[in-house]
Structure 1
């Protein structure tokens, strides 16, 4: 048997398993109304599944490809940059989980945009805000999906020895199919399997690195020896700022970008509306924190360890840090172990894409089409077919756009992350907890902060070394408060729903 066959065998079994889980989940949800089942899994997730689907949605291919690759190049400084991700699951569920679940049930909300409409009303401002956020969601979700498909296909093709196009079509088609067919419940169940297999893939990678490198002590000694001087006695690779390559302001702004700002990610926030009981929420907060920390920090540390066994010039590995992990898997692992390890980044890609794809489909079907044409939802069979076709079409579009790969997926992902956080953090979380929030204030905040974010990113306006998200988030908050003070209050019905009198 050829090496390619041995590598592809565990991956093929993994893809078959995902399709089987999707079929099972779709059958399990047939007794429920289609819209509530397809977009929110009938609000029936248990604690462990809630935690794992949240982690799998948050953990993307950049966690397995770009993150470790940059850690290989920059050392422990990139681990410091990634550290705020530990709090993401606990923060999202702990801050927004309880109130979003209660209010969404009372309002009959199935999507994040439904929550926005319930909070700001159906007046002109509320409708404009909801439509704008739905469009921004589509733009940034499509950007993220393209990045995920590119990253997954690159590591698949380089490590398994198949062409980029075939790798993209193989796992991309499976992802689009099971998402379009199974809906939220299928995504949650397959996300759980993917999160577990991401841990397995990380474990296989770590074992191989340490075994090949001669153990932890030897690996770290090699890292220290490979580190150029310049950050004191410890060297650049062992410095928390990578010898100045990562400014302190950038490391601090990471707490906004991949830490507190994650409260504004709609693909994560919708999970807060999907669980059964408070006990499930509490269990998910603990499990997601442990698993998220293990994956996000673990994979980044693997990149540092890889420097201790893989002291090869970057030019020989493909000329980009995105090529480091595929090179390691292809050249330092036996075929079966390589196949098992590859399941990790593929699972990360597929779980993230499935959640983004479903949320994008909901933005079109539930938040735009059904809101403006409610009669389209009366024929459930037609609604079921149309929604699945729309989901499939969005996935196909992202696949086509991913045929021309770009480098450094992590920065593509972080750009879209920042855009989503600026678009949703103030309207959603601000509206959830501040009685004075208005549709006008939210509109001004979203438009102003996104415009500023694009200007800073496109024209590379210096921000003292910080990521653009930090100053842009300040702009968003100031505009949100000022705009809300100067525009008409939200409808009394919305205020009573979100802030009931005791």
Structure 2
């Protein structure tokens, strides 16, 4: 127990210390929210990856989908790497950085307002972001606090409050750079930790082959005729598996806290390096987490009621297979993943609400000093609101996460991507995408017609389909505005020969 407490205390000290150190780099709104748009490849890539994966993936999703799909759940991690990281960086990285700098936009709602010539989009989008990032944040608190309760025997409520306090301190003090530098440190811890966990989980069942053999004889409730369903290529329910891949991979390109990382990229070199680093990071972290979760049925004992409590599967696996010291390492791993995600959510929601809602509607003459003060106050309010939701025992981690990702990506994905690439995207299509994406997920939350993950996947696909269709039949934006908007891609820039070759003169 002493070793675990010492490790956690050391981690807390480093985290807060980085926050205090970065305070001098957070003296204005641009530095606090964007790090001065001067963040290098390693920090950007790790900030992206650690914001992507948290206790929600390691505890909630790995437990539930490992239980439902077996080894095939590893496809979710592969999708996260190839679609959620590689494709996202290739498609969005450069264009997001260029166009948001062209508009001088620090937030996604401001981008929508300027790209589509509609200030009302800024106000509505800011409210959507603040409202639907709260359940995501709450799901992270639940996953993290559940593990802390298992490892230290501390009441769940005190775990939530303690983690919330730490998040508030280093984000409010240091802003984006504090979060990004902590992400780099935390990402390194995550890479080493997940490898150790997978090795011990397999060794606890006699090694790789023995673990697979034991899992292969367990029958599936959803596909009883399929022998070895939990070690098969696509698992017992391929369609449901596809829905989770879409939600957790394609959905990242519409999440404001993920896209925000591209606003801060320093230069072209950072994009190339960041693409490779973040993809490999996702492959190890997400692939390892879901692969580990696949063996939950070998460790978890179903309660007398006959239904597994998905949020408890991974904690029980770790408690029964890992030595005490390694549990401390896992706590640091999950704490690292979760703190980085929480900091990203807090900064995104509070800055968006301040700059796009309060300043845009109520306090148009707000000075930079007052803006910074409001952002910090809203950071605290956002954390408190998330804690209240996390303390509700009836809210499952995956349900909260799916509602948040599905609603945000379903509302924003189509308008954001098409706004970067296509002149024909219209203002009306953005409003329709907002309504449909949120409508599907909220309706399913109160009147369920499918699983939360499937509803989120439907909303995301709908956004990509509805946005161009509505754009074809609604009034177009003015040609002068479009010319100015897309002129940013035609601007000539100087570059070293190691990046660009000059044409050979005849």
Q: Shared fold by TM > 0.5?
A: yes
Q: Would you say the 8 A contact 1:231–1:242 is kept in 2?
A: no
| 1:274 aligns with one of 257, 264, 267 | 264
Matches of 1:250 and 1:139, distance apart in 2 = 27
**1:441 and 2:429 correspond:** yes
**1:18 and 2:15 correspond:** yes
Q: How many residues align?
A: 485
| 1:95 aligns with one of 87, 91, 94 | 91
Q: Would you say the 8 A contact 2:74–2:287 is kept in 1?
A: yes
Cα offsets for 1:55-77 (capped at 9, x unmatched): 11111212111223225523123
**1:120 and 2:113 correspond:** no
| 1:132 aligns with one of 116, 124, 127 | 124
| 1:43 aligns with one of 25, 28, 37 | 37
| 1:405 aligns with one of 393, 403, 425 | 393
Give how far 1:353 is off. Answer: 1.1
**1:323 and 2:312 correspond:** yes
Q: Would you say the 8 A contact 1:56–1:191 is kept in 2?
A: yes
**1:177 and 2:169 correspond:** yes
Give how far 1:352 is off. Answer: 1.0
TM-score under structure 1 length normalisation: 0.89
Structure 1 pair 98–497 and aligned structure 2 pair: CA distance change class (3 A): farther
Residue 353 of structure 1 is matched in structure 2 by 342
Matches of 1:80 and 1:272, distance apart in 2 = 26
Give how far 1:491 is off. Answer: 4.4
Give the match's secondary structure for 1:110. Answer: coil
Residue 384 of structure 2 is matched in structure 1 by 396
**1:497 and 2:491 correspond:** no
Structure 1 pair 481–203 and aligned structure 2 pair: CA distance change class (3 A): closer
Give how far 1:127 is off. Answer: 1.8
Matches of 2:304 and 2:194, distance apart in 1 = 25
Structure 1 pair 26–466 and aligned structure 2 pair: CA distance change class (3 A): closer
Matches of 2:306 and 2:186, distance apart in 1 = 28
| 1:259 aligns with one of 241, 249, 252 | 249
Give the match's secondary structure for 2:154. Answer: coil
Give the match's secondary structure for 2:160. Answer: helix
Cα offsets for 1:439-491 (capped at 9, x unmatched): 1221122113322333344333359x992244434543444234333443324
| 2:57 aligns with one of 45, 48, 63 | 63
Structure 1 pair 333–129 and aligned structure 2 pair: CA distance change class (3 A): same
TM-score under structure 2 length normalisation: 0.89
Cα offsets for 1:394-441 (capped at 9, x unmatched): 212211232223454123212211111111112211111110112122
Matches of 2:443 and 2:394, distance apart in 1 = 21
RMSD: 2.6
Q: Would you say the 8 A contact 1:452–1:472 is kept in 2?
A: yes
Structure 1 pair 361–84 and aligned structure 2 pair: CA distance change class (3 A): same
Residue 168 of structure 1 is matched in structure 2 by 160
Structure 1 pair 449–170 and aligned structure 2 pair: CA distance change class (3 A): closer
Q: Unpaired runs of 5+ in structure 2?
A: 491-506
Residue 183 of structure 2 is matched in structure 1 by 191
Structure 1 pair 406–85 and aligned structure 2 pair: CA distance change class (3 A): farther
Matches of 1:102 and 1:267, distance apart in 2 = 18
Q: Unpaired runs of 5+ in structure 1?
A: none
**1:111 and 2:111 correspond:** no
Q: Would you say the 8 A contact 1:436–1:489 is kept in 2?
A: yes
Matches of 2:440 and 2:327, distance apart in 1 = 44
Q: Would you say the 8 A contact 1:441–1:480 is kept in 2?
A: yes
Residue 502 of structure 2 is matched in structure 1 by none
**1:207 and 2:199 correspond:** yes
Structure 1 pair 215–421 and aligned structure 2 pair: CA distance change class (3 A): same
Cα offsets for 1:24-71 (capped at 9, x unmatched): 2223x15xx601101100011110111110011111212111223225
Matches of 2:407 and 2:233, distance apart in 1 = 27
Moved more, 403-412 or 130-139: 403-412
Q: Would you say the 8 A contact 1:432–1:498 is kept in 2?
A: no
Matches of 1:491 and 1:34, distance apart in 2 = 35
Q: Would you say the 8 A contact 1:202–1:344 is kept in 2?
A: yes
Give how far 1:219 is off. Answer: 2.1
| 2:353 aligns with one of 360, 364, 371 | 364
